[in-house]
Amino acid sequence: MSFKVAFFDAKKYDIESFLFAKEKEENKKYAFEFKFFNERLSFDNVILTKGYDAVCIFVNDNITKEVIEELYQNKVKLIALRCAGYNNVDFQEAFEKIHIVRVPEYSPYAVAEYTVSLMLALNRKIHKAYGRTRDANFALSGLMGFDMNEKTVGIIGTGKIAKVVMKILKGYGMNIMAYDIFPDKEFEAELGFKYVDINTLYAESDIISLHCPLNNNTEYIINAESISKMKDGVMIINTGRGKLINTKELIEGLKSQKIGSAGLDVYEEESNYFFEDKSDMIMTDDLLSRLLTFGNVIVTSHQAFFTKEALNNIADITLSNMREFIDDIRLKNEICYRCDKFNGICKGENDIKCF
């Protein structure tokens, strides 16, 4: 029998990567049947999931308690996130109703390399220089940067992406310090950086880069209080989650010049704009509009992950998650409320599913 999957918020590149993955030898015997919807999954269109075994969603699909209940009534058995983050899903409500899996990693190099690209572009004013030369303005005034060599970068969160970032920046001769509630002492010794407390990181970093997950402890970790502890002219980079930064207080820091520059690939209210063409509409988000007026701020639309390798890996891992579900074995990438002591990531026991 076929396994029917409804994809939501599906773009052309999603469709191409999943159709390619579907034809791989390991997936052929599972008779996957795909339906791609451009719309994001919400309570308004959850009726479209009737008759499907699984739904495949992305970061801006809003899977509330009410949506979970409708999915359950529609006999959907699996929610497959084609992303790492899962803060848009009420996985507590889904427990013992619908299994939820994610793609915990797809290409740490994609996000890490993009993170460093933002640092370099902001430092050397590449975005400004590009605009100038297009207008035949070849003056250098206002474009001065600084040597990355021997400057200090503070990394908040030291998961796989952050580790790649740190290796790259080590090659630039930067001094690296990091903060993590679960420090990897072996990696610290291997790379030759140092873990410090968060206040030391704020006070001594020339650049701060965010790589921690979004949860109750990290929401708005960058706020007026933390900004006040930072060096004057600090650069802040966020390729993690938008709500790691209080945007209103970031703007105040930019206005006062306490913050020298910011590179943001994510934004706390990005779901209203990111991944869509809104060029023919009036922007009603005052905070985002204000951010876009700063010459020392680069905002991009959550594209750090966007490489061929990452898209291929996302499709492969998502279909692997589905194969495990069909084969009724433990879902190694499951998000499980019962295992919330592990930050919601199901550890599983005895190679069986959690419920």
Distance of CA 123 to the CA centre of its chain: 23
Element (H, E) at 161: helix 160-171
Residue 51: Cβ within 10 Å count: 11
Residue 114: name the closest of 250, 190, 209 by CA: 209
Q: Could you tell me the two tokens for 233?
A: 């002219």
Active site residue 23: no
Active site residue 190: no
Q: Please identify which of the residues 249, 270, 324, 334 carries the catalytic annotation.
A: 270
| DSSP 8-class letter at 293 | T
Structural contact between residues 54 and 76, judged by C-beta atoms closer than 8 angstroms: yes
Give the position of tokens 């030291």: 158
Q: Please identify which of the residues 241, 249, 268, 334 carries the catalytic annotation.
A: 241
Give the position of tokens 């020392």: 296
For 147, the 3-state DSSP assignment is coil
d(CA 332, CA 344): 13
Q: Please identify which of the residues 82, 102, 211, 302 carries the catalytic annotation.
A: 302
Residue 325: name the closest of 350, 347, 354 by CA: 354
Give the position of tokens 């206005």: 255
Instruction: Write down how long the chain is.
Output: 355
d(CA 225, CA 229): 7
Active site residue 270: yes
DSSP 51-115: T-SEEEE-TT--B-HHHHHHHHHTT--EEEESSS--TTB-HHHHTTT-EEE--S-S-HHHHHHHH
Catalytic center residues: 241, 270, 302
